[in-house]
């Protein structure tokens, strides 16, 4: 879950892991630790027709989530981070 200073000033002021409520480290509006962010709009053929879901997970909770996958995540090394 993300909180911004205000609607007019978009500076990020708080990121909390939705799973465990851990507050992630921020410096001047930038995340200083790993965070998995999801922002997804469900399509017409889903049970959540046109609903948007957003959440953030700390790295520990992300690791626990993917550890339960029957098929592992695809892992690709990126040379540059945006």
Question: In the complex, which residues of this chain contact Zn ion (CB under 5 A)?
Answer: 17, 19-20, 22, 58, 61
Our CB check for Zn ion shows the closer of 48 and 53 to be 53
Q: How many CB atoms lie within 10 A of CB 19?
A: 16
Residue-wise DSSP of 61-76: HHHHHHHT-SSPPP--
Our CB check for Zn ion shows the closer of 12 and 36 to be 36
Positions of E strands within 1-82: 2-4, 12-15, 26-27, 30-31, 35-41, 52-58
Report the nearest approach of Zn ion to the CB of residue 60 (Å): 5
Our CB check for Zn ion shows the closer of 26 and 61 to be 61
Report the nearest approach of Zn ion to the CB of residue 81 (Å): 22
């Amino acid at each position: 879950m993300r909180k911004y200073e205000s609607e007019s000033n978009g500076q990020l002021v708080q990121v909390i892991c939705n799973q465990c409520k851990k507050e992630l480290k921020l410096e001047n509006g930038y995340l200083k630790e790993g965070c998995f962010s999801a922002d997804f709009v469900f399509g017409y053929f889903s049970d959540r027709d046109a609903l948007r879901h957003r959440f953030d997970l700390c790295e520990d909770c992300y690791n626990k989530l993917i550890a339960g996958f029957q098929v592992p995540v695809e892992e690709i090394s990126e040379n540059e981070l945006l």
